[in-house]
Amino acid sequence: MFLPGFPGINKCAFVAMKVMKKYHPKIFYHLKSKEYDFDNWKTYMLEYFMLWFCRCFHPEFEVRILDLILMEGWEIVFSIFSAILHYSKGLFFVLIYTFSLLILSSFYFFNSHLIS
């Protein structure tokens, strides 16, 4: 995972994309419809899979994730990734929609200043 070029992260990102496509197709195709760049999402995967989601949650929950990893092996990280996608599915679509509205509103704001 720590070799030059991060081949382990590339493998993890590939497996995570396949997990998302197989078990969470609505999220996967929603991201594709928003033209999300799956080639460059490895920068996020670096933080998630090298740090095992330890910067994403409260310490009590992080300890439980680390216990799972120590008991089951590092492959359980993909199940954790899938569970995070499953439980944040509703919020995920709202955030994407809100973010796109924010972009559109700021675009309108800048154009209105250019016109006036």
Q: Could you tell me the residue range of the domain that residue 78 belongs to?
A: 7-88
Between 90 and 14, where is the model more confident? 14
pLDDT value at 44 more than 80: no
Domain assignment of residue 94, yes or no: no
| pLDDT of 103 | 45
Alpha carbon distance 8, 13 (integer Å): 9
The total number of structural domains that make up the chain: 1
Does residue 42 belong to any structural domain of this protein? yes
Average pLDDT of the chain to the nearest whole number? 74
Whole-model pTM over 0.75? no
Does residue 80 fall inside a structural domain?
yes
Contacts of 48 by beta carbon, 8 Å cutoff, 6+ apart: 56, 77, 81
| The two three-digit tokens of residue 18, written as one number | 């396949």
pLDDT level of residue 5 (50, 70, 90 thresholds): confident
Dist. CA 68–CA 84, nearest whole Å: 15
In this predicted structure, what is the pLDDT of residue 83?
A: 86
Cα(55)–Cα(57) distance, integer angstroms: 6
Q: Is residue 104 part of a domain?
A: no
Cα angle value 55/100/105 (rounded, 5°): 120
Higher pLDDT, 81 or 109: 81
Is residue 45 assigned to a domain?
Answer: yes
82 domain residue, yes or no: yes
**Residue 67 resides in a domain:** yes
pLDDT value at residue 35: 76
**Main-chain phi, psi angles of 82, to 5 degrees:** -65, -40
Instruction: Quote the pLDDT of residue 18.
Output: 92
Closest by CA to 23, choosing from 112, 108, 85, 67, is 85
pLDDT above 50 (res 45)? yes
Q: Is residue 93 part of a domain?
A: no
Q: Determine what percent of the chain is predicted with pLDDT higher than 90.
A: 8
Dihedral over Cα of 50, 24, 31, 102: its sign: negative
